[in-house]
């Protein structure tokens, strides 16, 4: 393996061992690699392909299908702004325009300092908090311009570090229950 860190390679092998077919670990491995680099690098996709017995093209095809996976660099904070009907009626386009002005970037762009990327989301399934925003898949809303500014200030100052991990980190808890892998069973014996 050329790219995954020794620690992540060990975690990857443990992940693969949980599944009856190694290719079933493809998406969890993509999340693991993304947590290392902030996005899926070409080298990480090659490592994942080797671990799962598929081609790097299949890893890329899977990664490009899912919104939560990125194959290009993004900011430390990926801000998804819902513009579906409930959020639209709640002022989503006005909020999106405000966000672009505050950050100085448009949808799909990343700020020059690499901190923030703005994405438009079709639906975040939180219509009761319209207009809804996600930052690294954590929900915020309803937000107006002032609320968005406070959110950006809090993220920049590190006040939300316990709530919002940097982009790429899906969760901060490793599996400790469920079926044991062969290696885990041997270690406990």
Residue 166 is assigned to a structural domain of this protein: no
Q: Kindly report the CATH number assigned to the domain that includes residue 100.
A: 3.40.30.10
- The model's pTM: 0.81
Q: Residue 174 above 60 pLDDT? A: no
Asked, for residue 45, whether it belongs to a domain, the answer is yes
Q: Domain span at residue 40? A: 6-71
In a domain, 1, yes or no: no
pLDDT tier for residue 173 given thresholds of 50, 70 and 90: very low
- Which pLDDT score, from 0 to 100, does residue 166 have? 78
And the tokens for 20? 């009856």
Q: Same domain for 66 and 81?
A: no
Instruction: Specify the range with the lowest mean pLDDT, choosing from 42-46, 85-89, 126-130, 175-179.
Output: 175-179
């Amino acid at each position: 393996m050329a790219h995954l860190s020794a620690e992540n390679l060990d975690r990857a092998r443990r992940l693969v061992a949980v599944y009856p077919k190694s290719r079933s670990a493809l998406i969890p491995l993509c999340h693991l690699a993304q947590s290392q680099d902030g996005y899926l690098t070409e080298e990480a996709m090659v490592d994942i392909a080797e671990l799962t017995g598929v081609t790097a093209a299949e890893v890329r095809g899977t990664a490009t299908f899912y919104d939560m996976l990125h194959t290009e660099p993004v900011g430390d904070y990926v801000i998804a702004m819902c513009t579906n009907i409930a959020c639209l009626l709640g002022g989503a386009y006005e909020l999106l325009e405000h966000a672009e002005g505050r950050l100085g970037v448009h949808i799909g762009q990343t700020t020059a300092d690499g901190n923030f990327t703005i994405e438009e989301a079709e639906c975040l399934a939180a219509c009761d908090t319209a207009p809804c925003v996600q930052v690294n898949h954590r929900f915020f809303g309803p937000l107006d311009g002032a609320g968005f500014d406070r959110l950006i200030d809090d993220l920049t100052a590190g006040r939300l570090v316990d709530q919002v991990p940097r982009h790429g980190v899906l969760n901060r808890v490793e599996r400790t229950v469920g079926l044991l892998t062969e290696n885990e069973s041997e270690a406990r014996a």
